[in-house]
Amino acid sequence: MIVNFLTYLRERPGLLKWSLMAYLAFAVGFDFFAERHHAHFWGDEIIGFFAVFGVVGCLGMIVFCKGLSHVWLERDKDHYDK
């Protein structure tokens, strides 16, 4: 059952992208109605801070790990010909 669901999502990447964007918009919209008693740090006062922080953090980790893999794991194109 889960394999069929993952295959369905893999065949429709636009659906997955827009559903995740809708979830992000819901999280930011919900933050408008969240009650804030007192802020622990400056980011607690900004509406949608944690949603944006999560997206930027994930994108930063992707860029960092991809760059690290190119530097550390990638072999020369003629590595196996030697």
Predicted confidence at residue 38, as pLDDT, reads: 83
Residue 81 has pLDDT above 80, yes or no: no
Distance, CA of 27 to CA of 71 (rounded, Å)? 36
Predicted confidence at residue 61, as pLDDT, reads: 97
Confidence at 60, pLDDT banded by 50, 70, 90:
very high
Confidence at 70, pLDDT banded by 50, 70, 90:
confident
Residue 72 one-letter amino acid: W
Residue with tokens 């919209």: 29
The pLDDT tens digits of the residues spanning 8-59 come to 989 999 999 999 899 989 988 888 888 888 878 888 888 888 888 998 999 9
